[in-house]
Amino acid sequence: MTDVTERNRERISRRQVDKFTERRAQLAASALQTLAELGYARTSLREIAQNSEFSHGVLHYYFSDKVDLLTQSVQQYEAACVTRYDEVVAAATSAEELQQGFAAAMATTLRTDAPMHRLWYDLRNQSLFEEGFRADVLDIDQRREQMIWRVVDKYADLTGLPLAVTPPVAYAIFDGLFQQALLRYLAGRDDVIDELEANVQQALERSVNRG
């Protein structure tokens, strides 16, 4: 076999892998809406197929099971979400500007992306029982913690005050506030958006040691 032939085979193989990966990404993106609406427990590959343009057989070809599909879907969504506050951090020139911008961004994503956030918390809870995607959930959770820490660290820098929390503590505070607000928002509480903004601003103030 010549070197040229071998290189051609390698290129063909890479193209096939790329096409397979691209197809998985398309299917995962298509499945997100159904997963977000029904949740993990009530969603099957057949249910996803019925709510998309793809057949049950196609989903089975590209994904080994529901866990595989769900993990791929949430990973793709979170890849964009874990940088959702970076623009606010980069643009802020004062502690007050960052405080207001961060709180407003959290309130906005609660209002516009509630079903997707619900899916994330569903997946995180299910990972306590489903070992198959526990490692992926831990990875996403770590990146979400880092996302929150970039905000808190910038806030401390802008205030010139020492930090009063560690990254895990900061994440627990803001994630807890958001999850509580999400539950109340899904229950029809219209005032929860403003409440979340106020709570986030207050929590950010307390993330530094004011003496």
CB atoms within 10 A of CB 199: 20
pLDDT digits (tens, 9 = 90+) for 76-98: 777 767 788 999 999 999 999 99
Give the pair of three-digit tokens for residue 169. Answer: 């503590």
Residue 72 falls inside a structural domain: no
Q: Please give the residue range of the domain that contains residue 180.
A: 82-205
Confidence of residue 204 (pLDDT cuts 50, 70, 90): very high
Distance CA 60, CA 46 (A): 9
User: Same domain, yes or no, for 90 and 159?
Assistant: yes
SS3 4: helix
Residue 76 falls inside a structural domain: no
The reported pLDDT for the residue numbered 157 is: 97
Return the residue matching tokens 């609660």. 110
User: Same domain, yes or no, for 98 and 177?
Assistant: yes
User: Same domain, yes or no, for 102 and 141?
Assistant: yes
Confidence of residue 5 (pLDDT cuts 50, 70, 90): low
The reported pLDDT for the residue numbered 30 is: 76
Distance CA 206, CA 88 (A): 19
Residue 122 falls inside a structural domain: yes
CB atoms within 10 A of CB 62: 18
User: Same domain, yes or no, for 123 and 57?
Assistant: no
Residue 73 falls inside a structural domain: no
CB atoms within 10 A of CB 133: 22
The reported pLDDT for the residue numbered 69 is: 81
pLDDT digits (tens, 9 = 90+) for 13-61: 555 557 888 888 888 877 777 777 777 777 777 777 777 777 778 888 8
